[in-house]
């Protein structure tokens, strides 16, 4: 099961966070700081899977953006690694360049892909269908 999903820039600022189990706000900030420090300090030659406390971290770097996912012991690391890539490809397909001004749309995309910490959809066309409907309604 996925515990949390983070998008972080190279400066360590969280751009998007979604938690699938309850963590208090002050503990979230500490958790994010520690997780970001672990991922940013690793070289590109090192593995993208890290065992951290009672869960695992799976991360991928895209230019100046890191996508970090915290998972429990039963979740398949490679499946989550591919989920991250699929998520970024969907973002790339929907947005031409600027993602950070459209965080509501990014949340919709993530919610279409992950529900209650479980991967529910990977088909790009089905993921983007609700957004395309919203765009048509906004145009009219």
Tally of structural domains, the chain = 1
Supply the CATH number for residue 56's domain: 3.30.450.60
- What pTM was computed for the model? 0.91
For residues 20-48, give the mean pLDDT: 92
Q: Is the pLDDT of residue 131 over 70?
A: yes
Residue 120 backbone dihedrals phi, psi, to 5 degrees: -115, -20
Q: For position 139, what pLDDT does the model report? A: 86
Q: Mean pLDDT of all residues in the chain?
A: 92
> Which string of DSSP letters, residue by residue, matches 4-61?
EEEEEETTS-EEEEEESS---HHHHHHHHHHHHHHHHTS-TTS-SEEEETTEEEEEEE
| Domain of residue 87, residue span | 2-139
As a whole number of angstroms, the distance between CA 2 and CA 114 comes to: 8
**Helix (H/G/I), strand (E/B), else coil: 138:** helix
């Amino acid at each position: 099961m996925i515990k949390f999903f983070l998008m972080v820039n190279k400066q360590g600022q969280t751009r998007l966070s979604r938690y699938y189990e309850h963590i208090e706000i002050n503990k979230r900030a500490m958790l994010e700081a520690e997780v970001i420090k672990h991922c940013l300090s690793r070289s590109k030659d090192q593995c993208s899977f890290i065992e951290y406390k009672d869960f695992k971290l799976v991360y991928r770097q895209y230019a100046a953006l890191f996508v970090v996912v915290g998972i429990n012991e039963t979740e398949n690391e490679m499946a989550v690694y591919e989920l991250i890539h699929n998520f970024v490809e969907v973002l790339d397909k929907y947005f031409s360049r600027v993602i950070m001004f459209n965080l509501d749309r990014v949340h919709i995309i993530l919610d279409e892909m992950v529900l209650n910490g479980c991967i529910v959809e990977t088909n790009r066309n089905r993921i983007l269908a609700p957004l395309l409907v919203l765009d048509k309604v906004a145009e009219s």
